[in-house]
Chains A and B, each alone.
Chain A
């Protein structure tokens, strides 16, 4: 039987994968995708907690919808940035973007 714990474990796993991707991927698009993964793990938590702990109204599910909307906007901005920087540098490798260094 699949229960509350399994949802939480799955969400944690997804989150960890997302963090791993954000910290290690050199491709900017892959980093953006990893961020999506983390956001979705949070969504999963919202929905699961709403389902199991607060059953009388649907705040968690509404929140998940809002996060999806914000994530879509964020992806649009993020991809625009990546395209812009790609035009400058002819690269999407994050190692080439270290202008903030001393």
Chain B
């Protein structure tokens, strides 16, 4: 029915880029016009994405749609650009365009009156275009290009308020940290090109199916994994994401919660045909994800900045998704990516609404009683938190349950227990935030006021999605999601009532505990802090990872720099100066041959002529003999 929309898929990418170019070149003096154009572009992309998704999911598309154009050809290397549309792409298109559209509308209110309003929308457009290009790419080369472009957009938007040193540093930190991961990613791409001679996903899948050198496959998998570890902020490259909260809050919602950080998970899903060939690589993925999930959740327990709590929660949930990829539950991971995008964007936008109302106050202990002043924000935030905590029947419950079920049924008991523990911690820290900031007895929120409609309407839409988005992958709809987002050889486990009940119970326990401590104060949180002073300090300082990196940076990077400096001064400079000195010295010696006497020069000429004649004679005799 909507098959024609596939032929227009390239417009989805092009429209936001066109908006970016128009705003950047001509319209930046008219903020309202810039914003309208940007929203119009992403709106059209959204409509096209819906049509494509309708075709993919409802129109009964059998084969993935692929469109490929030869971009560059030379002996031994062909570079293609193209589009690939299948179930995974369909999901990502909807998620990215919808969240981007809502965030851009919301930003009309949030960024109102900002001197950089036009450039904000230009950056938003370039991000949307790059992210959609990444999602639609049909080969690794193209994905890498857009991967870097979303990194650039992220850099620009984190450092949007570049007047603040912290924002500037956070932007640089995000960019540099991502560079580390992208280095591995690029190496993996080069290896793929060299070994298999193609970067096209389908082409590679066919090649790898018949490839038996396990060591090389593991190596490529690990290198490839470095990309998602950087972009999806997994341990040990997670340090940039909490700092990235320096950007405007809608940016945090869109880029650093819902879409760009999920690009790493998307890449793992896209390259699943490589990862799934070696159990060793899968194990690494699962362990990295599981560790990050637990690690970040524990840090989130004690943070006081509303955005940082959400940032660590994002880290933790991304870890969840990556872990799902590692245990073979790719479908569950993508499902969680989708539901997480909705409820985490909701949480961030609601937090932005709070920050907006509180005149840029972000400390939850300085808020309180917000529920009376900001009812829409409060209740949408609660819905988001319930979804994140995994309370049935909200979306987070279904997706989290699928991951836990995957871990349980495939025999990864350790990861299953870890996942359950993280679910408990998630519920606890989210409701700590809610009870302190929205229901707490502090008077901080007395002068807050509800945000304008342009901000609350996106909240309500996302809240509805946070409630219902989970049904598409639930047993109630016969796992419709799993039908479209899957890979060859995927096993779908039968629903396990015990896993469901346990995950719901731990979440409820977490909420009740948070209620007891922070609302009723049955247990004093200050006394708890006193008692576990050591652990509290460790968690509050984020396990001192930043400090460790700083120390390592000083030791090794500065040390290397010092060695290179020495090399530059004494070897490179020495070489250059040495050549100059040699030339000068030779000149100083040879100038004594220049007497100024014409007769001397004539003598040199005579000697030269005699030598040449002698050589000619010798050559002549040699030829005679």
- B residues 573-622 near A (Cβ < 8 Å) are 591, 594-599, 602-603, 606
Counting contact residues on chain B (CB < 8 A from A), the size range is 10 to 19
Smallest CB–CB gap between B605 and chain A, Å?
A: 10
Name B595's contact: one of A22, A24, A31, A98 (CB within 8 Å): A98
Contacting residues, chain B, for A94 (C-beta < 8 A) = 597-599
Please give, as numbers and ranges, the residues of chain A lying within 8 Å of B594 by CB-CB distance. Answer: 100-102
Range of interface residues on A (Cβ < 8 Å): 10 to 19
Is the CB–CB distance between A23 and B599 below 8 Å?
yes
Q: Which residue from B591, B595, B597, B606 sits with its C-beta under 8 Å from A19?
A: B606
**CB of A5, distance to nearest CB on chain B (Å):** 18
Judged by a CB distance under 8 angstroms, whether A97 is at the interface is: yes
B617 → A minimal CB distance (Å) = 15
Q: Provide the residues of chain B in CB contact with A98, threshold 8 Å.
A: 595-597
Contact A23 B603 (CB under 8 A): yes
A22 to B603, CA, bound (A): 9
A23 x B602 contact (CB < 8 A): yes
Within 8 A of B (CB), among A81-102: 94-95, 97-102
> Are B595 and A101 closer than 8 Å at their CB atoms?
yes
Report Cα–Cα, A19/B607, bound state, in Å. 12
Note all chain B residues with C-beta closer than 8 A to A99. Answer: 596
Inter-chain contact B597/A95, CB cutoff 8 Å: yes
Closest chain B residue to A95, Cβ basis? B597
User: Nearest B residue to A101 by beta-carbon distance?
Assistant: B596
Per the bound structure, the CA–CA distance linking A22 and B602 in Å amounts to 8
Out of A19, A24, A97, A102, name the residue touching B598 (CB < 8 Å).
Answer: A97
Residues of A contacting B591 in the complex (Cβ-Cβ under 8 angstroms): 102
Cα distance A23–B596 in the bound complex, in angstroms: 14
In the assembly, what is the distance between CA of A43 and CA of B98, in Å? 102
What residue in chain B is nearest A98 (Cβ atoms)?
A: B596
Chain A, Cβ-Cβ closest to B588: A102
Specify which chain A residues have a CB less than 8 angstroms from the CB of B606 in the assembled complex.
Answer: 19, 23
**Which residue of B is nearest A24, CB measured?**
B599
Pairwise interchain contact B599-A22, C-beta atoms closer than 8 A: yes
Contact with A along B302-331 (1 / 0, CB 8 A): 000000000000000000000000000000
Of B591, B595, B597, B599, most buried by chain A (CB within 10 Å of CB) is: B599
Instruction: Give chain A residues whose Cβ lies under 8 Å from the Cβ of B599.
Output: 22-24, 31, 94
- CA of A24 to CA of B603, assembled, Å: 10
Quick one: which of A18-61 are within 8 Å of B by CB? 19, 22-24, 31
Query: Which residue of chain A has its CB nearest to the CB of B594?
Result: A102
Residues of B within 8 A of A95 (CB): 597
Subset of 11 A-B contacts with CB under 8 Å = A19-B606, A22-B602, A23-B602, A23-B606, A24-B599, A94-B598, A97-B598, A98-B596, A99-B596, A100-B596, A101-B595
The 10 closest A-B pairs by CB, nearest first: A101-B596, A98-B596, A100-B596, A102-B591, A23-B603, A102-B594, A23-B599, A98-B597, A22-B602, A23-B602
Q: A22-B602, A24-B599, A102-B594 are in contact. List 8 more A-B contacts (CB 8 A).
A: A23-B602, A23-B603, A94-B597, A98-B597, A99-B596, A100-B596, A101-B596, A102-B596
